[in-house]
Amino acid sequence: MPVSPDMAEDLAAAVSSLYEQTELALIEKVTKALGEGLDSPLWAELKLAAIGNLRTAIEEIIAVLQVDSAGAIHQALAEAYERGQQAAVAELGALAVGPALAAAEALPAAAAVDRLAAALVAETGPVHARILRTGLDVYRQVIAEATSAPLLGATTRRQAAARALQRFADRGVTGFVDNRGRAWNLTSYTEMATRSALGRAAVQAHTDRLAAAGIELVVVSDAPEECPRCKPWEGKVLRREGPSGAGVVELEHATEDDRVVRVRVAGSLPEARAAGLLHPNCRHSVSIYLPGVTRPRPKPPSRATYEQTQKQRYLERQIRAWKRRAAGAVDEQQRTRANARVREYQGRVRELVAETGLPRKSRREQVGSAR
Ligand SMILES: [Zn+2]
């Protein structure tokens, strides 16, 4: 069975939903803390005096998140590694030629999984400090904005606070930039980081297994939902490791020991991956290439176009955004309106899924009510 990042990325939901719940809980905590007593003339003084309570509440949320996320990360990566390894074992078993026969057993995965998990925990660690800082900053900022004009009455102060809180809810906890310079918020950043780590783990497990079996070449699939970054590598044969660049590899024919065959390769797998192949959300896969044995695989039937999958991601982001707005609503009417938009976008995802047959990644949108 070929390996694709796609085969493990669904596991990211178990991790990213913890962060999404935390983000909603933070917005709710700040909104509730500021919303209480909003019409009192002493509101600003009382709120500033109570900032320590908010700090404690946020620190509690973060402490739970740290424990839960470390466990969820380890569990998801172990499962991703196992899936990648099983894919290789199945593929090797189906070949039943040459070195492949010797390689039916799985390798011990614990050390590799520990390493991958430690890297992802380190990568997501800095977000915890930012959750606290953002919560306290927004709290102070809303108080400052709502009291800035000296003659504001209670109603306008309420409106100013509501506006500032909705702005916060729109963005969520921000300030995360990936290595390509793109800005993310808390949930999207941790989801992206987790999805890529899981995809990498599955591919690495597959590659580790192939290395143990002495397989030198792999071939890239023709994907049904084509991504522009991977197009140059489609259907190409690659070295599993070793030098980059196109060239010719000589190896023994898999079925006749005395014959040497020459195979044209487009580069190496690490090179192709560095250039974007098997990126997060990639539908391409990589499988064993044995000259004279491997036949081109038929292109799997398309479930939807690349544009349709992107549209689904867009709708899912809207669902999340309106959930945050509901969490940051000061009054009931505002919350009801935001929740109606959540249902509206959920309906649009259902329609798209029915139309295209795309899997509905409901864990991406659905979040239990946050505490
Ligand atoms: Zn791709």
Task: Reply yes or no on whether the pLDDT at 98 is more than 60.
Answer: no
Most confidently modeled range among 24-38, 87-101, 276-290, 296-310: 24-38
- Residue 115 half-sphere exposure, CB side, CA atoms within 13 Å? 9
The number of distinct structural domains making up the chain is 2
CA distance 280 to 198: 9
In this structure, is residue 355 part of a structural domain?
no
CA–centroid distance, 199 to ligand 1, in Å, is 12
**Could you identify the residue written with the tokens 């909104």?**
31
For 136-148, write each residue's pLDDT tens digit: 999 999 999 888 8
- Within this chain, do residues 103 and 34 fall inside the same structural domain, yes or no? yes
CA 245 to chain centre: 30
Task: Reply yes or no on whether the pLDDT at 371 is more than 60.
Answer: no
Most confidently modeled range among 52-66, 136-150, 219-233, 256-270: 52-66
Average pLDDT of span 328-346: 95
In this structure, is residue 247 part of a structural domain?
yes
- Within this chain, do residues 205 and 234 fall inside the same structural domain, yes or no? no
Task: Tell me which of 268, 302, 336 is where a domain ends.
Answer: 302
Quote the pLDDT of residue 368: 39
Residue 242 binned pLDDT confidence (cut-offs 50, 70, 90): confident
CA distance 115 to 29: 35
- Within this chain, do residues 207 and 273 fall inside the same structural domain, yes or no? no
In this structure, is residue 369 part of a structural domain?
no
> Mind spelling out the 3-state secondary structure of 286-346?
EEECCCCCCCCCCCCCCCCCHHHHHHHHHHHHHHHHHHHHHHCCCCHHHHHHHHHHHHHHH
Most confidently modeled range among 60-74, 185-199, 308-322: 60-74
Residue 240: domain span: 216-302
CA–centroid distance, 230 to ligand 1, in Å, is 5
* Residue 358 phi, psi dihedral angles, 5° rounding: -65, 145
Residue 360 binned pLDDT confidence (cut-offs 50, 70, 90): low
- Within this chain, do residues 98 and 236 fall inside the same structural domain, yes or no? no
Instruction: Provide the 8-state DSSP code for 358.
Output: P
Task: Tell me which of 302, 321, 353 is where a domain ends.
Answer: 302
First to last CA, the chain: 42
Quote the pLDDT of residue 52: 96
Task: Tell me which of 214, 245, 260 is where a domain ends.
Answer: 214
CA distance 65 to 50: 24
Least reliable range by pLDDT among 27-41, 125-139, 271-285: 271-285
CA–centroid distance, 80 to ligand 1, in Å, is 18
Quote the pLDDT of residue 223: 77
CA–centroid distance, 171 to ligand 1, in Å, is 28
Least reliable range by pLDDT among 3-7, 151-155, 196-200, 258-262: 151-155
In this structure, is residue 316 part of a structural domain?
no
CA–centroid distance, 189 to ligand 1, in Å, is 19
Strand partners, 250: 262
By C-alpha distance, which of 211, 204, 227 is closest to 276?
227
- Within this chain, do residues 167 and 106 fall inside the same structural domain, yes or no? yes
Quote the pLDDT of residue 336: 96
Q: Which amino acid is at 344?
A: E
In this structure, is residue 331 part of a structural domain?
no
CA distance 65 to 134: 16
Quote the pLDDT of residue 43: 92
- Within this chain, do residues 145 and 243 fall inside the same structural domain, yes or no? no
- The whole model's pTM is what? 0.82
Average pLDDT of span 25-50: 93
- Within this chain, do residues 242 and 129 fall inside the same structural domain, yes or no? no
CA–centroid distance, 32 to ligand 1, in Å, is 43
- Within this chain, do residues 230 and 102 fall inside the same structural domain, yes or no? no
- Within this chain, do residues 54 and 106 fall inside the same structural domain, yes or no? yes
In this structure, is residue 324 part of a structural domain?
no
Task: Reply yes or no on whether the pLDDT at 2 is more than 80.
Answer: yes
CA–centroid distance, 279 to ligand 1, in Å, is 6
Residue 133 binned pLDDT confidence (cut-offs 50, 70, 90): very high
Residue 364 binned pLDDT confidence (cut-offs 50, 70, 90): very low
- Within this chain, do residues 122 and 11 fall inside the same structural domain, yes or no? yes
CA–centroid distance, 357 to ligand 1, in Å, is 20
In this structure, is residue 230 part of a structural domain?
yes
Quote the pLDDT of residue 253: 62
Task: Reply yes or no on whether the pLDDT at 278 is more than 60.
Answer: yes
Quote the pLDDT of residue 261: 82
In this structure, is residue 96 part of a structural domain?
yes
- Within this chain, do residues 181 and 270 fall inside the same structural domain, yes or no? no
Instruction: Provide the 8-state DSSP code for 368.
Output: P
Q: Pick the residue with more confidence: 262 or 271? A: 271
Task: Reply yes or no on whether the pLDDT at 341 is more than 80.
Answer: yes
- Within this chain, do residues 52 and 110 fall inside the same structural domain, yes or no? yes
Q: Which residues surround ligand 1, an ion (CB under 5 A)?
A: 227, 230, 282, 284
Quote the pLDDT of residue 258: 66
CA–centroid distance, 273 to ligand 1, in Å, is 10
CA trace torsion 329, 333, 335, 341 (10° rounding): -130
Task: Reply yes or no on whether the pLDDT at 86 is more than 80.
Answer: yes
Quote the pLDDT of residue 97: 59
* Residue 182 phi, psi dihedral angles, 5° rounding: -85, 140
Average pLDDT, the chain: 86
Task: Reply yes or no on whether the pLDDT at 363 is more than 70.
Answer: no
Average pLDDT of span 61-83: 95
Q: Pick the residue with more confidence: 90 or 306? A: 90
Residue 254 binned pLDDT confidence (cut-offs 50, 70, 90): low
CA–centroid distance, 217 to ligand 1, in Å, is 19
Q: Pick the residue with more confidence: 171 or 140? A: 140
